[in-house]
Structure 1
Amino acid sequence: MIKRIYNRVLKHVYTIPSLEKYSDSIYKTAVQQHAVNLPPMSTGDLKIVETLKNEGVAISSLEELATPSSSKMTSAAKKLMPLIPCITKKNEFVVHATNEQIMEYPEIFLWGLERRILNIAENYFNLPVAYHGAYFRRDIANKVQRKSRLWHLDGEDRQVFKVIIYLHDVNEDQGPFQYIPVSTTQKLVERLKYRQGYIQDTVMQQNVSSSDYKSCLGVAGTVIFAATSHIFHRGKIPVASDRFSLFFDYTSRLPKYPFVNRYSLPQDYLLSLSRKITQHQLQSLLWQNYKVK
């Protein structure tokens, strides 16, 4: 609680116009200087990045991406699925795998460091990538409407990038990831004078047609790339069955709020995992040691 209050105060300090202008200037310079260092990509991956920037979401699949560790990751995820309980606290709607479970099945966490995924993220950010970790979610089929089930933008950084993988077929009744495209979101931010927080669907429907809601449907293995700081998004409430999915979180290594540590695992676990990866992956995992100069 004390840390959250401290971070909130610091965030307020970082909005002082002179400091914000200085921070933005450093950021823009870094983006310009890094342009010559961006990793090359295939035509397909360039299309993913372009779609992310224009639409806010690009959809692929584990089969199309064909990353080397996908089979090990999906095998580990299938073993972990029955171990995630369906019981939640009152007024809660999601159960996460514990840190210990993630460490027992490290293939899940390490998939997020696949070179192809990092290259897509880097070309989206136009800066080196900070990997914040993986989350194994079981979203419960109940009627709770709060937090990530409400419309919101991710405001942890200038650009937040997430990769979502469905672990079973997801239709409209199984809690798909929903979003409002970039151009419409920009208009809504101005209309609602949005700064942060969650928006009830009743409020959203007063300001935009529900036809602008885009549901990401797909079979098991569907991969969703989402620019969650630039699109209003939510997890639609599942009604037919619980939804199992994986979330992988990324920002650049030049965060707007450098004091915010968003790692999904404790430091000692990260150090243990770091022994299993390449130098390139290490720079994204222990990114605070490899910040943009």
Structure 2
Amino acid sequence: MKVIRKIIVITQKIIHRILQWPSKTIHAIYSIGPIRKKITQNRIHSIRAHSQDLTPLTTEETPLAHALKERGFCKVNSDFFEAFRSEKFRIAAGEIYDFMEKTYLETGRTINIIKLLDAEPRLLGQFETVFRAGLDIKLLRIIEHYLQLPVGYGGVDIFFTVADGVERGARTWHKDSEDHPMIKVAVYLNDVGENDGPLEILHLQRTSPDFDKLRGFRHQKLIDLQNEDKIKFEITSFTGPLGSVILCDTSKYFHRGKPATGRNRRALFFNYYANKPLTPYFCPNPPFPTDRMKELVSDLTTAQRDAALWRENLSPVDKIVTKTKPYLSL
């Protein structure tokens, strides 16, 4: 049985790498000096052009936006955002996580959103409710002021983190590469203490060339480099009660979900980029077609619809590559 499971995992990795080939090829082309320079200049021009059109902040939003701009992260309670404090959102998220936990208890395995919706199609409505919550207008305004550009909404990752202490995937130190800058918004759906898988970010005070080459690594690597006097660092650990909301630039900071050893963690991670991102082909796609997306946001404001439908304004090449990239919930 273990051999079969190992073969399945290896096969999945091979298929995943094949599916990533178009994105990586385009990225290699866009990384060529003159092309990269042109893309960077276009981004700078877009920021300047949008500076006069930034959506005004309300009095209560301003302190949060300033804190995010100064530090690249901030924390608030979910009651601050209408979408996150709604009963409909809480019920929908709770039903999704109840099914995920039930599946884990019965099978010993976690389940991602694609498999979840295949196994339990009735949860599509609940997922769409959670997805729409990420378009909260307050949230978009605050993030717009950080990015200095109109916001592109990347969707939501649903993490059911088992308290097994295992360090893998998003539980290793890494930076996100969908855009720079970009924002992830974590919403805790249960109390998260130090041993319950809190989001952590790394503050590097001194680094070595060895560290600068790293892309993703286990925590022991940090300790080893520190013991060798090659780096110096501090860690911010975002513990908090149910309803805690953390906004963080995950392209700026190495970050991870600390491997949980206490209780299982329920946390949503909403993704936001500029509209358009520097590397749209690295941005995951929602698990429903464009027509359904348009229908889903048809009753929202123009700013919310534009944030949700940013993929429709990509160049033909970017659109093809981005739309063929599978949705992942690691």
- Normalised to the residue count of structure 1, the TM-score between the two structures is 0.87
**Deviates most, 74-83 or 41-50:** 41-50
* Cα distance in 2 between the residues matched to 1:54 and 1:189: 25
From 67, 70, 87, the counterpart of 2:85? 70
Q: Please identify the structure whose Cα radius of gyration is greater.
A: 2
Matched with 1:147 is 169
Structure 1 residue 263 corresponds to structure 2 residue 285: yes
The structure 1 segments of at least 4 consecutive aligned residues displaced by more than 6 Å after TM superposition are none
What is the CA-CA distance between 1:217 and the residue it aligns to? 0.8
1:253 and 1:291 in contact (8 A); partners too: no
What is the CA-CA distance between 1:3 and the residue it aligns to? 3.2
Structure 1 residues 23 and 203: CA distance shift in structure 2, 3 A: same
1:69 and 1:107 in contact (8 A); partners too: no
From 36, 40, 49, the counterpart of 2:52? 36
For structure 2, which runs of at least 5 residues remain unmatched after alignment? 1-16, 316-330
What is the CA-CA distance between 1:290 and the residue it aligns to? 4.5
Describe the SS at the equivalent of 1:86. helix
Higher relative contact order (CA 8 A, sep 6+): 1
1:167 and 1:244 in contact (8 A); partners too: yes
- Which one has a larger percent helix, Structure 1 or Structure 2? 2
Matched with 1:16 is 32
The amino acid of 1:128's aligned partner reads P
Matched with 2:235 is 213
Describe the SS at the equivalent of 1:250. strand
C-alpha offsets along residues 113-163 of structure 1, whole Å, 9 cap, x if unaligned?
A: 111011111111100111111222211111321111110000121222111
Matched with 2:256 is 234
Structure 1 residues 66 and 6: CA distance shift in structure 2, 3 A: closer
C-alpha offsets along residues 57-96 of structure 1, whole Å, 9 cap, x if unaligned?
A: 2000112x14256222123222332111226999x7x543
Matched with 2:272 is 250
Query: Identical aligned pairs, as a percentage?
Result: 24
Structure 1 residues 101 and 50: CA distance shift in structure 2, 3 A: farther
Matched with 2:19 is 3
Structure 1 residue 104 corresponds to structure 2 residue 125: yes
C-alpha offsets along residues 37-57 of structure 1, whole Å, 9 cap, x if unaligned?
A: 111113443332333333332
**Deviates most, 269-278 or 213-222:** 269-278
1:95 and 1:139 in contact (8 A); partners too: no
Matched with 1:193 is 212
